Amino acid sequence: MALHVDKPRADPWWQIIHESSDEVEKPVDNAVKRTISKFQSWSLGEMERRLKKNQQSAAVDAVDWKGFQESLEQELHQRIQRSMKKTARESANKLGLDFDPSDKKLLRAAKLRARKSARLITNESRQALKETIKEYSKQGLTPRQIRSRVRPMLGLTRRQAYSLRHQEKLMRAKGASHAQIQKKLKGLSKRYAKQRSSYIARFEGLGASQQGADTVISTAMAEGDIEHVEKKWIRAARDSCQICRRLNGQRVEFNARFIDPKTKKRYDNPPDPHGNCRCGLHYYFKKVPQGQHVAASEFFHAQHDQKSHGRRKKGGRPKGLPPGAVPLDTMAPNRLGRKAGPDEIPHLDGLAPHQVAMIGEFETQVFGDDIENVMSVSGPEPDMPEGGFIIGRNSGDSHSVRMSKHEMLITQLDGNAVVSHNHPGEGISFSAQDIRIAKELDVAEIRVTAHIKNGGPYDGAVTYRLKRPTHGWYGVKEPPKTFADDAIDEFMPFMHEVQKSGGFPKIADGEHVSWHRAVKKYAKKSRLKYSRTIVKDDGSIYVDEVGG
């Protein structure tokens, strides 16, 4: 399936994404300009009062940044959502798929994109004001003078604010009056606000449109309608920037990032390299034949029917349980943990209903896989009490798996997402990198599922859970550099324990138990809630946990 185009407009995917982007660009431009203009007219009286007390940081905080951010978010959200809906609808039509433009995942993605953009714009403007106040304070200006000078700089970037300060300095050196300077700065401020709004409109227009297409494709992959997707970078024109020229023609997996061959820097989809990027993508699909839908129908351990938990069907096995599990021996329970009650499902308790369904199905599919898989599921929100959606699902190799930059951002902004992945091999618990990512993405919970089949007492479906503390991840120290050594130090004591109790120690069991103990010690020290749940072949469940 080769693609040869001299002009990117000849590519259908380029047309779908860019037509939607062009349609929303002007409304976004006007909305941002209008919001910045209103912001510059807001009261700065409290800022001046703080400056009189020589409180520069408090003076910056006195500006109504929250109101500015909320106004921006509201203006952007309507237009971003419209763009994403249109692109999603046309992308689904092209693929021959049924996709509801009011899909929860799409609506949440639009909301979070608007929130992220408004936050970035506000933070940049806040930093610009901070630098401006610091500079004017060094010059010995009075609070009233500072207030009059910073007003036209509100809502601008740091570079634009610096340019205004520099222009003012040059005019003062030439002997211009205060009125002339203010008139000049006001004109420049309007021009800069127009430039910034235009830049934001181009970036958000294309970014939202591209995200709408990606949402449809990722949903189709998660639901099994598409088996495999690759994407190819198409530059917008022959006079594109150097970065886009080097990326042109690169073809990668759908969830992979493009790599600049010169700088080795990684980029997501257009317009990631720069705000004025107008490049596009072409997609290569391998669709699932009709009648061979790739989607599991069984949930992990029949969570919707707890009464039938652990029962065998005729000629079958308990739902979600792996083959090859063996009965318990006499020495196992002391190290397996407490035995769960008949109505307990400890590996899924505490999750929202939609998380139970989505994570349960995912872990049923991947817990015995020989490659790593990861899935992020959104948390519940007041406006979506009935449930959320799958933020992303990816597969890697036998040692690692990666989430895309976009998926990591949506997971982080969600605030209550749950990330689950599997560890092939011997059922090892969390790595130090797993814990760092959980902290970085501020997830409500990170999970590992695995299939232990060593012919020993630990055989079964194992689930490790690490939950965010009530005070949040802030203040939780990252695992030490000696984390792996701590696990190794637990290995020999475990082997000796088994020998003393009359058992025959298995090296594979020693590996996953010693790692589990190292994570358990770290969780206890960090005041995290950590648990390991093993579901045996006979339906019995054993839980070893720490924290609360």
Select from 127, 131, 132, 118 the least CA-distant residue to 67.
118
The residue out of 222, 245, 276 marking a domain boundary is 222
Output 341 or 378, whichever has higher pLDDT: 378
Residue 23 tokens, joined: 């349609």
CB burial string 97-136: b at 16+ within 10 A, e below:
bebebebbbbbbbbbbbbbbbbeebbebbbebbbbbbebb
Residue 250 tokens, joined: 């690169």
Judge if 459 and 311 occupy the same domain. Answer: yes
- Classify strands 445-452 and 460-467 as parallel, antiparallel or unpaired: antiparallel
DSSP letter for 381, please. B
445 belongs to a structural domain = yes
Q: How far is CA 390 from CA 71, 81, 105, 362, 416, in A?
A: 28, 18, 7, 10, 13
Q: How far apart are CA 479 and CA 433, in angstroms?
A: 8
Taking residues 332-341, what's their average pLDDT? 64
Judge if 439 and 312 occupy the same domain. Answer: yes
Instruction: Of 43-52, 202-211, 296-305, 417-426, give the lowest mean pLDDT range.
Output: 296-305
Q: In degrees rounded to 5, what are phi and psi of residue 524?
A: -65, -40
Q: What is the DSSP string of 110-169?
A: HHHHHHHHHHHHHHHHHHHHHHHHHHHHHTT--HHHHHHHHGGGTT--HHHHHHHHHHHH
A 10 A CB-CB count for 337 gives 17
The residue out of 187, 222, 257 marking a domain boundary is 222
SS3 102: coil
Strand partners, 376: 392, 419
Instruction: Of 7-11, 302-306, 366-370, give the lowest mean pLDDT range.
Output: 302-306
| pLDDT, averaged across the chain | 79
Q: In degrees rounded to 5, what are phi and psi of residue 277?
A: -65, 130
267 belongs to a structural domain = no
């596009």: which residue's tokens? 280
Q: What confidence category does residue 426 fall into, taking pLDDT thresholds of 50, 70 and 90?
A: confident
Taking residues 173-198, what's their average pLDDT? 88
- Kindly tell me if the per-residue pLDDT of 292 is higher than 50: no
Percent over 70 (pLDDT), the chain:
85
Select from 413, 433, 405 the least CA-distant residue to 421.
433
186 belongs to a structural domain = yes
211 belongs to a structural domain = yes
Judge if 68 and 172 occupy the same domain. Answer: yes
What's the total number of domains in the chain? Answer: 2
pTM for the structure as a whole: 0.58
- Does an H or E element contain 379, and which? none
Q: What confidence category does residue 482 fall into, taking pLDDT thresholds of 50, 70 and 90?
A: confident
Q: How far apart are CA 429 and CA 464, in angstroms?
A: 6
- Kindly tell me if the per-residue pLDDT of 197 is higher than 80: yes
274 belongs to a structural domain = no
> What is the residue range of 433's domain?
306-479+528-546
Q: What confidence category does residue 383 fall into, taking pLDDT thresholds of 50, 70 and 90?
A: low
Given this model, what pLDDT does residue 503 score?
Answer: 65
Select from 132, 121, 122, 146 the least CA-distant residue to 48.
146
Strand partners, 511: none
Q: How far apart are CA 362 and CA 48, in angstroms?
A: 56
Judge if 217 and 310 occupy the same domain. Answer: no
């235009």: which residue's tokens? 198
- Kindly tell me if the per-residue pLDDT of 462 is higher than 80: yes
Select from 277, 90, 106 the least CA-distant residue to 199.
277
266 belongs to a structural domain = no
455 belongs to a structural domain = yes
Percent over 90 (pLDDT), the chain:
8
Judge if 357 and 454 occupy the same domain. Answer: yes
Query: What are the contacts of 75-79 at 24+ separation with CB within 8 A?
Result: 75/31, 75/32, 75/34, 75/35, 76/28, 76/31, 76/32, 76/113, 76/114, 76/117, 76/118, 76/204, 77/110, 77/111, 77/114, 77/115, 79/24, 79/27, 79/28, 79/31, 79/204, 79/208
Judge if 326 and 191 occupy the same domain. Answer: no
Question: Hey, what amino acid is at 233?
Answer: W
Select from 321, 537, 340 the least CA-distant residue to 449.
321
Q: How far apart are CA 21 and CA 126, in angstroms?
A: 28
The residue out of 168, 193, 222 marking a domain boundary is 222
Give residues with Cβ within 8 angstroms of 511, minimum separation 6: 426, 428, 491
Instruction: Of 191-200, 319-328, 385-394, give the lowest mean pLDDT range.
Output: 319-328
- Does an H or E element contain 287, and which? strand 280-287
Give residues with Cβ within 8 angstroms of 154, minimum separation 6: 36, 39, 40, 42, 63, 125, 129
Maximum CA extent, the chain = 96
Q: How far apart are CA 176 and CA 166, in angstroms?
A: 14
Given this model, what pLDDT does residue 174 score?
Answer: 87
Taking residues 249-256, what's their average pLDDT? 85
506 belongs to a structural domain = no
